[in-house]
Structure 1
Amino acid sequence: MTPDQIRLVQDSFHEVLPIRVAAAALFYERLFAIDSDLRALFLASDMPKQGAKLMASLGFVVRGLDHANTVLPTVRELAKRHVTYGVKEHHYPIVGQALIDTLAASHGTAFTPAVREAWEAAYALLASVMIAAAREDQLAA
């Protein structure tokens, strides 16, 4: 990611914070609309708490984009936990689409092509690290 992309992601996420509860609800609504089978991974979840965890994790990663080496160990551990929840590699593009759709809906016209591209780059980085960590964990098991 370029420094400009990092700034765009961080600035646009700052705009989501005031509506984080609604944004999280919209994210899961969109996620389940894309793939209703994913609902099964959340049957025992308190969705408002799950949404708060989502936004906290996303905030942690977004704040750490300009010093990724400090957040990557936590991201790797998050990926390993997600494996135990039943998350599979093919779920990552679905989550990415739900995230981009949520951000686009939340930002309206402020979600410019440059902002979209920055978020896509950020999510690609996050997903690649998480997928690699999950693969490593599964090979070690």
Structure 2
Amino acid sequence: MTPEQVTLVKESWEKVKPISEQAAELFYGRLFMLDPELKSLFKNDMSEQGKKLMATISLAVASLDRLETILPTVQALGQKHAAQYNVPDSSYATVGEALIWTLQQGLGDAFTDDVKEAWLLTYSTLSAAMLSGTEATA
């Protein structure tokens, strides 16, 4: 990622944080609309799950300019998702689609083509790291 892309992701995420509860609801609503079978993976309070999601994204966004420091943690998270929660590898594309849609809804006109491209790169980088963690489980 270029420094400009990192800045775009960080600045756009700052605009989403004040509406994080609504963003989480939008995200999970869209995710379950795209793939209703994924809903069975979530056994706990969805409000708490939404808070965890937003905290995880916040940590990842804050670490984008030193990505190498969090990649082992991201890989371990992927391994945990596969081993403990039986998250199918195919769901990563659906999650990405729901995330980009949610950002578009939350940011409105501020979700420019450049912002979208930066988020797509961010998500593809992090999801690839998570998927590499699932390989250790297989």
Bucket of the pairwise TM-score, normalised by the shorter protein = over 0.9
Q: Is the 2:79–2:136 Cα contact (8 Å) retained in structure 1?
A: no
Unaligned runs of 5+ in 2: none
Name the TM-score, length of structure 2 as normaliser.
0.97
2:111 matched to which residue of 1? Answer: 111
2:44 corresponds to: 45
Give the fraction of aligned pairs with identical amino acids, expressed as a percent: 45
Structure 2 residue 124 is matched with structure 1 residue 124: yes
Aligned to 1:5: 5
Helix, strand or coil for the counterpart of 2:70?
A: helix
Q: Which amino acid aligns with 1:19?
A: I
Partner of 1:93: 93
In the alignment, the residues of structure 1 paired with residue 44 and residue 78 of structure 2 have an alpha-carbon distance, to the nearest angstrom, of: 18
1:31 paired to 2:37 = no
Q: How many angstroms does 1:137 deviate by?
A: 2.6
> Matched residues in 2 for 1:104 and 1:17: separation?
14
Runs of 4+ in 1 over 4 A off after TM superposition: none
**Aligned counterparts of 2:73 and 2:33: Cα–Cα separation in 1:** 29
Residue ranges of structure 1 left out of the alignment (5+ in a row)? none
Who is 1:68 aligned against?
Answer: 67
Which deviates more, 48-57 or 68-77?
68-77
CA distance in 2, matches of 1:78, 1:56: 14
Q: Secondary structure, in 3 states, of the residue corresponding to 1:45?
A: coil
**Amino acid of the residue matched to residue 10 of structure 1?**
K
Residues 87-140 of structure 1 show CA distances to partners (whole Å, capped at 9, x for unaligned) of 1110000000000000000000110000000000000000110001111232xx
Looking at structure 2, the residues matched to 87 and 13 of structure 1 have their Cα atoms a distance apart, in angstroms, of 26
- Provide the residue aligned with 1:21 in structure 2: 21
| In structure 1, distance between residues paired with 2:81 and 2:39 | 15
C-alpha deviation, 1:78, in angstroms: 1.0
Q: How much is the aligned-residue C-alpha RMSD, in angstroms? A: 0.7
Whole-Å separation in 1 of the counterparts to 2:76 and 2:53 = 15
Aligned residues: 137
